[in-house]
Amino acid sequence: MKLTSITLRLVKAPLKRPFTTHLETVTEREVIVVEARDQDGGIGYGEAVPFSSPWYTEETVKTCFHMLEDFLIPKTLAFDLTHPNQLAGLWSGIRRNAMAKSALEQAIWDLYAKQEGIYLGKLFGGERTEVDAGVVVASDHIEDALRQIEEGLAVGYRRYKIKINPANDTEYLTQIRRAYPDIPLMVDANSAYSLSDVPHLQKLDDFQLMMIEQPLGHDDIVEHAILQKQLRTPICLDESINSYHDAKSALMLKSCGVITIKMAKVGGWSQAVKIHDLCVEQDIPLWCGGMIEFGISRAHNLALATLKGFTIPGDISSSSRYWEHDIIEPEVIVKNGVIKVPDKPGIGFGIREKRLDELTSYRIVYK
Ligand code: OSB
Ligand code: MG
């Protein structure tokens, strides 16, 4: 394959509803869209999904831009690339900065799959033709949270994830279970607890939760193993899993019963698939995480979720949950709780050029 240019765009839009966790409230989302072009006019798309400040990962929109512009893009354009599976090795001297790597890797895999005329999910062995959709409720008002669950049920979402913290957890869960005793329910704590909260966390065992996502430190693997021994509910690790090595460590120590893979956070397709294969081998159920993203990242996630290890509905919701108008065509649509998987080449979705231009505040081309 021959890359002729790489374009970066800063893309920004307000969210339809605020996204609130105990760490941050997000009302507006900025990402970097990456376009990789070849000599035949083909274009592959990737999306870097850090936040504007480092509240969830250490990367930000600015650090990603810097890594792409000053290191990843020059290294890639100077290399005679024949296959995207060379990228991880090519970039191995650039430590971490997974979200920057993921976006550029996505764009080049999309371009490659389009050249080969194959849907990205299929390229990696994915066989699912529809993917179960899950929804995330991130609200600091219980009435609003209940309303969002109601809305989700109307669309048939197959799993409900509630953001919790020590101040709201039992009140939220009591009210939710009173209204909806049987829905598939889980919680995400985004590291709001510590090991001294074990007795408190044990109370959550009574709410028939599918799992508790990331109760302890964002960088912890050992304490989660200690906690898991004292809980009936499986722990799911999110923040702690930033690489294949992290996943291997968590499984060795039995720190969790479930893993969520966010392609962006582990550095792209190659790492995500490696973690997937490890979890399949060890019988650890997976689901695909989300980043309140635009359609390009959503489309990559959907393709990833077609792989057989993704047996639990993940955080892939409809475009319309967060956006007035998404940048892809068609948008991601949830109907009867599922998303139909496209079979067109690459990410399988087109780009709404006009909408993308409207949301682009800065654009630069590298050759
Ligand atoms: O912790 O899973 C998380 C979104 C941004 C940052 C962190 C997280 C999330 C989500 C996914 O919960 C929400 C979504 O994309 O629908
Ligand atoms: Mg999470």
For the Cβ of 290 lying below 6 angstroms from any atom of ligand 1, the answer is: yes
Residues 80 and 219 reside in one and the same domain: no
Nearest Cα residue to 297 out of 114, 60, 107, 86:
107
The domain tally of the chain equals 2
Residues 147 and 52 reside in one and the same domain: no
80 alpha carbon – ligand 1 mean position (Å): 36
Residue 83 CA to residue 155 CA, distance in Å, equals 40
Given this model, what pLDDT does residue 50 score?
A: 98
**Distance between first and last Cα of the chain:** 15
- Residue 55 sits in a domain whose CATH number is 3.30.390.10
Residues 216 and 172 reside in one and the same domain: yes
Contacts of 246 (CB under 8 A, 6+ apart): 221, 240
For the Cβ of 220 lying below 6 angstroms from any atom of ligand 1, the answer is: no
Given this model, what pLDDT does residue 1 score?
A: 86
The parent domain of residue 210 ranges over 122-350
What is the best residue among 16, 216, 292 to mutate for testing ligand 1's pocket, by most ligand atoms within 8 Å of CB? 292
Locate 50 and state its tokens: 């850090």
Residues 111 and 133 reside in one and the same domain: no
Residues 69 and 209 reside in one and the same domain: no
Residues 151 and 197 reside in one and the same domain: yes
Give catalytic residue positions.
163, 262
Give the ligand at the shortest distance from the Cα of 238: 2
Residues 126 and 209 reside in one and the same domain: yes
**Helix (H/G/I), strand (E/B), else coil: 123:** helix
For the Cβ of 237 lying below 6 angstroms from any atom of ligand 1, the answer is: no
The closest residue, in CA terms, to atom 1 on ligand 1 is 190
Residues 67 and 152 reside in one and the same domain: no
308 alpha carbon – ligand 1 mean position (Å): 22
**Helix (H/G/I), strand (E/B), else coil: 67:** helix
Residues 238 and 358 reside in one and the same domain: no
Cβ atoms 29, 326 nearer than 8 A: no
For the Cβ of 322 lying below 6 angstroms from any atom of ligand 1, the answer is: no
Give the containing element (helix H, strand E) for 34.
strand 25-38
User: Which amino acid belongs to residue 124?
Assistant: F
pTM, rounded to two decimals: 0.98
Nearest Cα residue to 9 out of 353, 276, 356:
356
Given this model, what pLDDT does residue 335 score?
A: 97
What are 48's strand-pairing partners? 32
Residue 225 CA to residue 228 CA, distance in Å, equals 5
Task: Name the phi and psi angles at 296, rounded to 5.
Answer: -70, -50
The closest residue, in CA terms, to atom 7 on ligand 1 is 291
pLDDT values of the chain reduced to their tens digit, one per residue, 367 residues: 899 999 999 999 999 999 999 999 999 999 999 999 999 999 999 999 999 999 999 999 999 999 999 999 999 999 999 999 999 999 999 999 999 999 999 999 999 999 999 999 999 999 999 999 999 999 999 999 999 999 999 999 999 999 999 999 999 999 999 999 999 999 999 999 999 999 999 999 999 999 999 999 999 999 999 999 999 999 999 999 999 999 999 999 999 999 999 999 999 999 999 999 999 999 999 999 999 999 999 999 999 999 999 999 999 999 999 999 999 999 999 999 999 999 999 999 999 999 999 999 999 999 9
For the Cβ of 56 lying below 6 angstroms from any atom of ligand 1, the answer is: yes
